[in-house]
Amino acid sequence: MKILLGVCGSISAYRSLDVCRQLVKDAHEVKVVLTKGALEFVKPQVFKYLGAQEVFTANDDFNLEAMKDRSVLHIELSKWAQRILIAPASANTLAKLANGICDDLLTSIFLASAKTTTVIFPAMNTNMLRHPLTETNFQRLKSLNSVFIHPTKEGLLACGDEGEGKLSDVDLIASVAPIVELGPIKRKILITTGATIAPLDPVRYLTNPSSGKTGYELAKQYLKDGHQVTLIAGRHACKEIDYLTHLPKAKVLRVSTTKQMHVVVKAHFDDHDTYISSAALSDIEFPQSSKKIKKSELGDSLSISRAPDVLKDMLSRKKDQKIVGFAAESNVELETFLKKWRDKPVDVLVGNFVSANHDQVSVGFGSAENDYTILKNGKEYFTGRLSKSELAQKIELALDH
């Protein structure tokens, strides 16, 4: 994606350097525009060292000698950008944007980009953030169909105060800015991800190493393409899932046990067009004790029962929904996954290899890449190695064609 990164005068401007570096690392094309205030905190050439294609300052529109071989700069950049990201956004620049003032390059680009999605991450003192005029400016900007303003963080501010106004984390900014879509909702996608737990008592439980990153990548893929996503994650799934919490088409829920997952999925299933069951659910339950079981009370075996089979139940409730199931297996022969599909005939079945010994790195759960076998309507659709983001794209493609 072609991203124009706007940087304003804020003590947190130095963090825009890391945002730039991460966007470039994620294979985005980045050009940077600095306001006059930003130059008090960061140097233009550093962005070039970090991979930005070009870096511009506030008055470059009027630098006729440097721009003599170019067209009108703010128009050129407004046509180039597929996404405008302003991080950090100062109270001063927000006021200009909200009132249509274009007295420098960044504000001129914004006014020339009414159809380009602009993602804004503010940073300022709490009192400035909560001033009625700033809140009015927020509301004016939010009324535009092309502008999304992410909430600030709470914490210790540069002035020593505690409160709202901190710039969001770099990883969050770089992750969500490219996937914000503000157009009409296409389809509603329900995704489960991460591990559930089977509690034995208040301090012990059985679980598995699933990180929830597959569901996170699926959610990002569908959000980027304009779908509404409900993501139900295990309580201990990766923190990146919470990056999606404030996005306009995302809903993030956390659960602990398989029973809780079952209840929440049932409550949302009928209202969604697609259900992707990528969670690694615990399939057993213990008779849970309300008090810690003492060592002297533990025997040589534990009483277990079966947990609800959430995917099988949703298949029985299916109307027009498309359903994707996952099967983690150590035996990855095609017949293994065909047997799984015959038991639960989902539209798409994703089989993945899992293996681990106590003295080895786990393969499958938490791995950046893995070997997958994908069945579509009971027939082999794909076999090969994929990253989790590539897998998300492959699943979307399998469902759409």
pLDDT at 361 over 50: no
Class of domain 188-400: alpha beta
Beta bridge partners of 118: 84, 147
Instruction: Tell me what the mean pLDDT of segment 342-353 comes to.
Output: 96
pLDDT computed for residue 134 by the predictor? 98
pLDDT computed for residue 32 by the predictor? 99
Write out pLDDT tens, residues 279-298.
999 999 999 788 898 888 88
Q: Could you tell me what percent of the chain has a pLDDT over 70?
A: 97
CATH T-level fold of 2-177: Rossmann fold (3.40.50)
The gap from C-alpha 258 to its chain's centroid, in whole angstroms, comes to: 23
CB 126 within 8 A of CB 115: no
pLDDT at 115 over 80: yes
3-state secondary structure 163-191: EEEECCCHHHHHHHHHHCCCCCCCCEEEE
- What one-character DSSP code corresponds to residue 297? G
Each domain of the chain, given as residue ranges in start order, spans: 2-177, 188-400
CA-angle at 173, arms to 212 and 26, nearest 5°? 75
Write out pLDDT tens, residues 31-68.
999 999 999 999 999 999 999 999 999 999 888 776 77
| Residues with catalytic function | 159
Q: What is the mean pLDDT of the chain?
A: 94
Domains 2-177 and 188-400 share a fold: yes
